[in-house]
Structure 1
Amino acid sequence: MSKLLVVIGITGTQGSSVADAFLAAKNWRVRGVTRNPSKPAAQEWASRGVEIVSGNMDDVESLVNAFAGAQAIFAMTDYWYPIRDPAVRANATERGISADQLCAELETQRGKNMALAAASPAVQRTLERYVWSSLGDVSRLSGGKFTHVWHFDSKAAVEQYIREDPEIGKAGLTAKASFIHVGLYTDNWRRSGSEIQKDPVTGGYWHVTFDDGRTKLPFVWARRDTGPLVQKLVEDVQPGARLLAVSQFADYREFMAVWAQTLGQKLAGEDGIKRISEEEFRNMLPPVEDIRDHLMSTWLFFVNFGYDGGDPKIIYPKDIGAEHLMTSLEDYIKQEDWSSLLR
């Protein structure tokens, strides 16, 4: 008899990857939870045999219903979704806090709501594994130097809640939970103009940054590689793991070298790096002061402490026998559609 995996955010990058991996396994059924089951992306999953249900992250009881009968749950939140909502910004202004801080509060509460639902007796009757998509506790890992990397700290707060809250532990969820920290998306070039730019003078390409381009980062093809790692956590790894989802470690000089060689392009600058000042980099970010502060703090943390902040409890795909499931940068670049960039 097949088991049931419930996927939160099935129409997003991570959730889609998880659904793909488990659909390919004949011993699993997949149920997707989404805000709007009628939207085309959700209906496309329904056409592939996924059961699509509605779930409200602000309503624990609706999540209990969505989780009912599951043997495994993949839970995640999208920090950036509410920050685009004018009502969220208006609420933040009324409270005298930044929209970033409010989004962190929302994400933390919604993550806790999912944990509360998963810890309910109705869900615990069948649940065997719970995987939370988390990130590092930057405020702690940086010794208080960076306290505005909201989208890391909010996910970390949920992880701490699942690991340490007495009631969650007593209910049985803590003993069934694992945590995946997803690395830097290889396709961030679609979202950020500084990732890969064309030099109008030489026609070569470079990555724009305020550091020297030698910071090692855990690149991950999240749409492809998240799912196989979650499947390993569910099927083969004892609960409690904190796994960094990384397809390949590289710095941006290495990334640009592989990119240029694979696509037959030439590099500009110094090994494909255009170095600018921190102020210039900050001015390239979205023209909203709290978002600029947030994103600048994020990159400064990476440069000063590394993506995972040197967390000694982090494990890697090689530690769970999953390294061979990951996609190299070269293979990602070969399979990506670069037509919007190479014009």
Structure 2
Amino acid sequence: MASKKIITVFGATGAQGGSVVKAILGDSKLRDSWTVRGITRDVSKPSAKALESQGAETVAVSLLTLSLRTNLRYDIEANLDDASTLKSALKGAYAVFAVTNYWESQSADVEMKQGKAIADAAKEAGVSHFIWSSLPNITELSKGVLTNVKHFDSKAHIETYIREIGIPASFFLPGFYMSNIPGGMMRQLPPNNDWTLGLPIPTSSPVPLLNTVDDTGKFVKGILLNREKTLGARIYGATAYYTLTEIVKEFQEVFPEAGKSAKAVELPHEVYKGALGQAGMPESAQEELLQNMRLLNEFGYYGGAKLDESHSILVDKLTTWKEYAAKAKPFAELK
């Protein structure tokens, strides 16, 4: 019997990484041919234990240091500042799903250092398929109009680096998280408690929505099953483009009583930034998120790219916004 291929999954208890683990371990054919090595901050927390119960190895990782502990009973210390020490963490891995979190440090330099360290280690370890969770370079896409969307640009710079060092790689570009909408961007507002989706862009702006927790793994599964087709390619991870008006319309269809007065509104830029400031975000983050929103209307989240080619690799049905809204906890009391 041939030995199983190992896929190392960074952020295994997070939205994206956890979805990848679930997609592989939840597929009987993939489970028979792949071993999942999940990397997380704390192997003792319930989410990590849940991975182990599904059959995954677990690895503890901190922002700058990596402590490896798996059911193979070995411990390794590695430092993301030193790519050579990460080789042990990736030892024997055929594939890697790598994702970093800009918002932990709110530093593009820190994120790029982490991403490049993982890429260097993967090259050193001879990984055959490196899957990087990337995003478009907005400074370039906007021709210098939007220069502060750092959490996009930093991931794009890492993608460029991965291409330059010659790792066999595919690039997954997650869409706009559906989870940002219920109870967050769309909530009840005074004086009438009307459900309102308020963003600093026209309500006709197209938004590529992704059910990150359930559907990221479906795309990565498709990438793994179509390695030759997806090497070097960008896979756009979204179900479909929805305008703000369409998002509200489908909310109304799911919740006809509560949705009677629901609406989408375009907020003035300063009102949007002011709300972020009241939530405790610094000025730099306010401007970054404003430009992130402006991207949707002015240049397109994916620069106007169609989703058909990315969908062609899928074997599992994606979640629609209507399906997501029907199960979203912030909307649960409306049923």
Q: TM-score, normalised by structure 2?
A: 0.85
In 2, the alpha carbon distance for the partners of 1:13 and 1:285 equals 23
**1:72 aligned counterpart, secondary structure:** strand
**1:81 aligned counterpart, secondary structure:** helix
Equivalent residue number for residue 22 of structure 1: 24
Q: What do residues 140-184 of structure 1 show as CA deviations (whole Å, max 9, x unaligned)?
A: 1110111110000000000001112xxx22xxx1xx100000000
RMSD of aligned residue pairs (Cα, Å) = 2.2
**2:136 aligned counterpart, secondary structure:** coil
Give the residue type in structure 1 aligned to 2:25.
L
Of 38, 44, 64 in structure 2, the residue corresponding to residue 32 of structure 1 is 38
Give the residue type in structure 1 aligned to 2:9.
V
Equivalent residue number for residue 266 of structure 1: 259
Of 7, 14, 32 in structure 2, the residue corresponding to residue 5 of structure 1 is 7
Instruction: Give me the identity figure in percent.
Output: 31
Offset, 1:66 = 1.4
1:111 and 2:115 correspond: yes
Give the residue type in structure 2 aligned to 1:288.
P
Counterpart contact for 2:200–2:294, Cα < 8 Å: no
Equivalent residue number for residue 236 of structure 1: 226
Offset, 1:340 = 7.1
Offset, 1:222 = 0.6
**1:231 aligned counterpart, secondary structure:** helix
Equivalent residue number for residue 79 of structure 1: 102
CA separation of 1:311/1:328 partners in 2, compared to 1, >3 Å: closer, same or farther? closer
1:306 and 2:300 correspond: yes
Q: Which runs of 4+ in 1 moved over 6 A?
A: none
Q: What do residues 93-133 of structure 1 show as CA deviations (whole Å, max 9, x unaligned)?
A: xxxxxxxxxx111111111000000000xx21xx3211000
Equivalent residue number for residue 44 of structure 1: 50
Q: TM-score, normalised by structure 1?
A: 0.83
Offset, 1:268 = 3.2
Counterpart contact for 2:175–2:209, Cα < 8 Å: yes
Q: What do residues 210-263 of structure 1 show as CA deviations (whole Å, max 9, x unaligned)?
A: 322111111000101100111111121421110110022101110111112112
Offset, 1:315 = 6.7
CA separation of 1:310/1:248 partners in 2, compared to 1, >3 Å: closer, same or farther? closer
Equivalent residue number for residue 290 of structure 2: 296
**1:58 aligned counterpart, secondary structure:** coil
Unaligned regions of 5+ residues in structure 1, if any?
A: 84-102
Counterpart contact for 1:206–1:267, Cα < 8 Å: no
Equivalent residue number for residue 89 of structure 1: none
In 2, the alpha carbon distance for the partners of 1:261 and 1:317 equals 28
Offset, 1:267 = 4.3
Give the residue type in structure 2 aligned to 1:129.
H
Q: What do residues 44-87 of structure 1 show as CA deviations (whole Å, max 9, x unaligned)?
A: 2122221112343334234211111111110010111124xxxx
Counterpart contact for 1:54–1:66, Cα < 8 Å: no
Equivalent residue number for residue 282 of structure 1: 273
Offset, 1:299 = 1.0
In 2, the alpha carbon distance for the partners of 1:339 and 1:227 equals 25
CA separation of 1:315/1:152 partners in 2, compared to 1, >3 Å: closer, same or farther? farther
Of 204, 207, 214 in structure 2, the residue corresponding to residue 217 of structure 1 is 207
**1:178 aligned counterpart, secondary structure:** strand
**1:132 aligned counterpart, secondary structure:** strand
**2:248 aligned counterpart, secondary structure:** helix
Of 179, 193, 197 in structure 2, the residue corresponding to residue 207 of structure 1 is 197
Unaligned regions of 5+ residues in structure 2, if any?
A: 67-79
In 1, the alpha carbon distance for the partners of 2:37 and 2:162 equals 22
Counterpart contact for 1:242–1:315, Cα < 8 Å: no
Counterpart contact for 2:325–2:331, Cα < 8 Å: no
In 1, the alpha carbon distance for the partners of 2:162 and 2:189 equals 47
Larger mean CA deviation between 287-296 and 41-50 belongs to 41-50
Give matches, 1:164-179, under 5 Å. Answer: 164=164, 168-169=165-166, 173=167, 176-179=168-171
In 1, the alpha carbon distance for the partners of 2:287 and 2:224 equals 37
